[in-house]
Structure 1
Amino acid sequence: MKFQRIEDLRIDHDLTQNDIAKILSCQREVYRRYEKGSRQIPVDYLIKLANYYGCSTDYILGLTDRKTPYPK
């Protein structure tokens, strides 16, 4: 499954794959595989990305078009 939204969010924030790999504490190649869908993204990384970008995990996964996170 290709995660187009993590690529779109990264580009919208003018970040490189290397920048996000550092945030996730993984190698750039590993992160690149998440974006391209050749590797499944771990839940803890998904949560980190949602918190970093200020959006919901559902938005990243393509389950909703609502970008804002859900109230806690």
Structure 2
Amino acid sequence: MMGSRLKKLRGKKTQEEIAVKLGISRARYSHYENNRVEPDSELLGRIADIFGVTTDYLLGRTDNPTPNYKESERYTCQDNENLTEEEKNYLKLQLEIFRKIKEKDGKNPDK
């Protein structure tokens, strides 16, 4: 699923263009688009930043590609004791990405 979403998001740009933005080789990026391997969490976050989508969208956990910052920031890992440790860590990572995007947007005079 991630591969098809990456291809769709890339649009008319080349794999090389996206790979350069990510600081990886074109071949490595190609592996992600062809579902041969999955990026680690840090690279996943950078990919989401470049395309302006959530990591949940890239992972196929939602069909909504647009981050909803306010809604996402309402939750913390302590809000649901039924979450697994992996889910809590994933949520922490996602919230950190949202905060970084907001900080970046706040410092951007064009926004």
Same fold (TM > 0.5)? yes
- If asked which structure has higher relative contact order (CA below 8 Å, sep 6+), I would say 1
Give the number of the structure whose alpha-carbon radius of gyration is greater: 2
Q: Does 1:3 align with 2:41?
A: no
**TM-score for both structures, normalised by structure 1:** 0.85
TM value normalised by structure 2 = 0.57
The percentage of aligned residue pairs carrying the same residue is 36
Partner of 2:32: 34
* Unpaired stretches in structure 1, ≥5 consecutive residues: none
Runs of 4+ in 1 over 4 A off after TM superposition: none
* Structure 2 residues not aligned, in runs of 5+: 74-111
Instruction: Report the CA distance between 1:70 and its aligned residue.
Output: 2.8
Q: After the TM superposition, which residues 41-56 of structure 1 pair with which residues of structure 2 at under 5 Å, given as runs?
A: 41-56=39-54
RMSD between superposed Cα atoms in Å: 1.5
Aligned-partner Cα distance in 1 for 2:42–2:2 = 18
> By percentage of residues, which structure has more helix?
2
